[in-house]
Amino acid sequence: MRDVVLVIDLNNYTYEVEHRPELFEKWLGGTGVAVQLMREHMDPKADPLSPENVIVFATGPLTPAYPLASKTVAMFKSPLTGNLGESHAGGRTAVSIAAAGYGAIVIKGASKKPVYLVVEPGKVHFRDGRVLWGIPDSLIVGRILAENESGRGTRTMMRIGGAGERLVRYSCVTTETYRHFGRLGLGAVFGSKKLKALIVRGRKKYLPADGKKYREVYDEIYRMAIESDAMKKYHLLGTAANVIPLNELNALPTKNLKAARFEKAEEISGEALAEHNLGRRIACSHCPVACIHLAALRLPYENEPYFFRTIMISYDYELIYSLGSMLGIGRRDDLLRLIHRVETYGLDAMSTGVCLAWATEALERGIITERETLVKLNFGDVESYLKAIDYIYEQPTEFYKHLAMGVQHASEIYGGREFALAFGGNEMPGYHTGYAAVLGYLTGMRHSHLDSAGYSLDQKVKDLSPEEVINRLIEEESWRQVLSSLVVCFFARGIYTPEVISRAFEPLGYSISPDELKNLGTEIYREKARLKVAMGFNPKKLSVPKRIFETPSLHGKLSEEFMARALDYYRKRLEEML
């Protein structure tokens, strides 16, 4: 288990290497370690865009030993919600950090001028980033860095686009071109620190304590990964396979959730994209599944109608929802153009789509005018949305400055809060399945559908009481703290059971029982809740947009009384826990 923490101070351009075996032995890695490092290094009351905010990247003890265990946790204070920010990304990030010999990297302070960092074993280089600052296209930044920072070993390149520089509160950090630390605004935190990019490279090798036993457990996990029906779905179509089933369940948010069924869903489905647009599949390091699907989009050069450039664009369900059905976009090429524009600036796709959907309806209702939007926004009109995405980055008017701060903030300024789809300040994911999904968005520590998978609970179980729904969500989220401390891909949650995890630790020289793992998950959940509350989270302020109760879900029209009772019970559970 790597027990080394690299602490980088951008204020003074210095760094320290700390050996922390007790930290990793108790909290494993990933989320568990990140929470403790945030407590150590940051005042929880700090402004998210001030030098006092801290970024922690933490990997898990199963990286790079096992398949599907190569994700990295990023933790910070979110400029979007004002409290806990946490994001996970795959690619080569975790394996590169491990190859450099670190279990976690802490970034403090803020640079006086634009910089990018190059991290190697026992060494940090502070590079002048002024030539990169001002380049809005994160893809171009990646190409420049790849040419100028070549080196031997495993390498990851995390960088921001123009949205992060302009402090858009839902800007993300791109890694390896097609993966992202999305949601909650890590890109803006990078931008506030004048940090354009972070490169990590190393060549350290991993040797298990018991090679023979390790091979047995590795083969067991590998076979489950390639033979599992659930994992096969991710390989064949990816999460885009969810489009048609959710549409048929009346659970696909459409046109700002004025409906939950999209008449053009089949045109932008995973099946249609695979048949007409799929160019290749790629995988994160140490993953045999290859769930990353890349579509080939041909775009003509200006004044050259028969001369095309081909762009490879990563797509998945959440992007199809937020930039497709949510905006009434029913043509695949239009969808891919929107995804590419969002990727270019380094914006979070879900937040961008929800913000634009709200703005479109607000314009329809006369709450705002074209003086604010500068373009007539219409559901289904790709050209207007492409311009609006440019404006979110450029922020040429007060309206776009407010929209760049999130849909909840914008609706508080202009009105229309009842159809502004944000939960705890974070824009809505793509599931209108019922009570558990909505309550999961509200009560999850990241306000994410992946915190507690309420959307899945809605599809499996009906007729639960409000208290039972909350108990099930907390139980699931507590267990997921273990998975995000290891750090394994949530797609593999059916493979990495408590028993399998316990066996996986043995050849690495560590012993932990299934019961100890479950107890640890509960403890990490409690520690994270304490940190979130210390940062300013107030469960009494949680509210549900009225639109949620207007549009029927898989469970029919949702009851305000049920939701209120569930939230009261959640507040009671949280108070007892703290």
What one-character DSSP code corresponds to residue 244? H
Kindly indicate whether the domain formed by 228-423 is annotated with CATH number 1.10.569.10. Answer: yes
Domain-wise residue ranges, the chain: 4-202, 228-423
Stretch 96-113: mean pLDDT: 98
- In this chain, the answer to whether the domains covering 4-202 and 228-423 adopt an identical fold is no
Stretch 42-69: mean pLDDT: 98
* Res 305 pLDDT > 90: no
Q: Write out pLDDT tens, residues 61-81.
A: 999 999 999 999 999 999 999
HEC string of 305-319? EEEEEEEEEEECHHH
Q: How confident is the model at residue 187 (pLDDT cuts 50, 70, 90)?
A: very high
- Cβ-count burial of 556 within 10 angstroms (0-12 exposed, 13-18 middle, 19+ buried)? exposed
What is the CATH number that goes with domain 4-202?
Answer: 3.60.9.10
User: Does the global pTM surpass 0.85?
Assistant: yes
Calculate what percentage of the chain has a pLDDT beyond 90. 94
Q: Write out pLDDT tens, residues 266-291.
A: 999 999 999 999 999 999 999 999 99
State the first-to-last Cα distance of the chain, in angstroms, to the nearest integer.
30
* Res 231 pLDDT > 90: no
Q: How confident is the model at residue 5 (pLDDT cuts 50, 70, 90)?
A: very high
For residue 488, cis peptide bond before it (omega within 30 degrees of 0): no
Q: How confident is the model at residue 524 (pLDDT cuts 50, 70, 90)?
A: very high
* Res 571 pLDDT > 90: yes
Supply the pLDDT for residue 1.
62
* Res 521 pLDDT > 80: yes
Stretch 490-514: mean pLDDT: 96
Stretch 118-127: mean pLDDT: 97
* Res 206 pLDDT > 90: no
Supply the pLDDT for residue 438.
99
Q: Write out pLDDT tens, residues 364-399.
A: 999 999 999 999 999 999 999 999 999 999 999 999
CB–CB of 531/232 below 8 Å? no
CB–CB of 196/114 below 8 Å? yes
- Cβ-count burial of 168 within 10 angstroms (0-12 exposed, 13-18 middle, 19+ buried)? buried
* Res 360 pLDDT > 70: yes
Separation of alpha carbons 17 and 528, rounded Å: 25
Q: How confident is the model at residue 151 (pLDDT cuts 50, 70, 90)?
A: confident
Sheet holding 278-282, edge to edge: 278-282, 292-301, 304-315
CB–CB of 194/158 below 8 Å? no
C-alpha pair distances (Å), 243 with each of 24, 236, 376, 489, 548: 40, 14, 28, 21, 20
Mean of the per-residue pLDDT values for the chain?
A: 97
* Res 34 pLDDT > 70: yes
Separation of alpha carbons 295 and 259, rounded Å: 28
CA 141, 146, 148: angle at the middle one, nearest 5? Answer: 95
Supply the pLDDT for residue 214.
96
